[in-house]
């Protein structure tokens, strides 16, 4: 088993605000991976992506990427749908040149549609994206659809597992999102069991904690890792099942909480 821990975006303590400096900082912090954030748009070119990939490869740091937030594969508006597909394809192309294994995507919103229609529209759009990625030579990058926390967003674990059996996407696990969606309950063992049965070689995931609103319900607002959902039971389950996994800290404290997760695993006997 191998565990890779890193941050969503360049670590806060990076001196210069660049991805290359962020990768070097990950190395200095003795972390293993970095998720490159295209969340506000794919502004990077392929040549820069290659340079970033070379730095990461030289330092032995694994990369992944996060596609822009402004995506809805269930949009009725053809222009918006095509723009969403393009943002995903651009992310995959840069990921390919960076040598990144996977991209995380917030795929779609139900809007006025039923979950079934949203599912089939999302599946059709993803199938088209996968075909184009293959033709254009960057089909090696895995298309990861993220488990989403808000009820308005497509992406329950069940939906993504079903979809991954039909087309070549993988569920990109956001542990806290699943926890919010299930009203503050999560069974790590059961989820890892389902992923193992899908024969996923490596689990890609985000971890953070989430806030409670005034009504006492958990909401998709990321906070530092010190309470809910708890990390230690997940760490124990990863060790017990010998899972290959990437854990990206999406805590507002980024590397501080990535190191916290690393320490928990080390205390359980894992050697990085
Ligand atoms: Zn995300």
| 232-244 residue pLDDT tens | 999 999 999 999 9
Q: What pLDDT does residue 241 have?
A: 96
Measured distance CA(242)–CA(244) in Å, rounded: 7
Phi, psi of 5 (to 5 degrees): -120, 140
CA of 185 to the centre of ligand 1 (A): 20
CA of 104 to the centre of ligand 1 (A): 6
**Of the candidates 63, 71, 238, 222, the residue with the CA atom closest to the CA atom of residue 141:** 63
CA of 29 to the centre of ligand 1 (A): 23
Low-confidence stretches of the chain (pLDDT < 50) are none
pTM of the model: 0.97
CATH-assigned architecture of domain 3-267: Alpha-Beta Barrel (3.20)
**Rounded to whole angstroms, what are the CA distances from 144 to 7, 79, 102, 137, 239?**
17, 23, 6, 18, 24
Beta bridge partners of 63: 34
Q: What pLDDT does residue 205 have?
A: 98
Close Cβ partners of 18 (under 8 Å, ≥ 6 residues apart):
10
In the chain, domain spans: 3-267
Measured distance CA(272)–CA(270) in Å, rounded: 6
Measured distance CA(136)–CA(78) in Å, rounded: 22
- Buried-exposed string 169-196: b where 16+ CB fall within 10 A, e elsewhere: bbbbbbbbbbbbbeeeebebeebbeebe
CA of 154 to the centre of ligand 1 (A): 13
Q: Cα 11 to chain center, whole Å?
A: 17
Close Cβ partners of 265 (under 8 Å, ≥ 6 residues apart):
3, 5, 235, 238, 239, 272
CA of 144 to the centre of ligand 1 (A): 10
**Of the candidates 26, 259, 121, the residue with the CA atom closest to the CA atom of residue 129:** 121
Q: What pLDDT does residue 46 have?
A: 97
Phi, psi of 119 (to 5 degrees): -60, -50
pLDDT tens by residue, 4-47: 999 999 999 999 999 999 999 999 999 999 999 999 999 999 99
Q: Where do we find the tokens 């822009």?
A: 68
CA of 51 to the centre of ligand 1 (A): 25
Q: What pLDDT does residue 121 have?
A: 98
């Amino acid at each position: 088993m191998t565990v890779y821990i890193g941050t969503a975006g360049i670590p806060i303590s990076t001196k210069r605000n660049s991805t290359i400096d962020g990768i070097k900082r990950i190395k200095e912090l003795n972390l293993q991976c970095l998720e490159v954030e295209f969340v506000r748009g794919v502004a990077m070119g392929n040549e820069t992506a290659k340079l970033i990939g070379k730095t990461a490869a030289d330092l032995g740091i694994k990369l992944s990427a996060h596609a822009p937030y402004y995506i809805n594969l269930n949009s009725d508006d053809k222009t918006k749908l095509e723009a969403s597909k393009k943002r995903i394809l651009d992310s995959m192309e840069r990921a390919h040149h960076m040598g990144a294994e996977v991209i995380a995507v917030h795929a779609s919103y139900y809007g006025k549609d039923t979950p079934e229609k949203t599912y089939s529209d999302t599946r059709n759009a993803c199938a088209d994206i996968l075909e184009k990625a293959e033709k254009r030579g960057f089909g090696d990058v895995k298309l990861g659809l993220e488990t989403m926390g808000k009820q308005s967003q497509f992406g329950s674990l069940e939906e993504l597992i079903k979809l991954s059996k039909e087309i070549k996407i993988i569920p990109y696990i956001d542990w806290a999102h699943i926890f919010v969606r299930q009203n503050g309950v999560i069974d790590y063992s059961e989820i890892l069991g389902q992923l193992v049965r899908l024969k996923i070689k490596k689990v890609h995931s985000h971890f953070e904690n989430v806030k409670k609103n005034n009504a006492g319900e958990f909401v998709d607002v990321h906070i530092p890792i010190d309470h809910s959902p708890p990390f230690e039971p997940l760490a124990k389950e990863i060790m017990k099942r010998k899972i290959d996994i990437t854990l990206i800290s999406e805590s507002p404290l980024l590397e501080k909480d990535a190191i916290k997760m690393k320490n928990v695993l080390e205390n359980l006997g894992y050697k990085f």
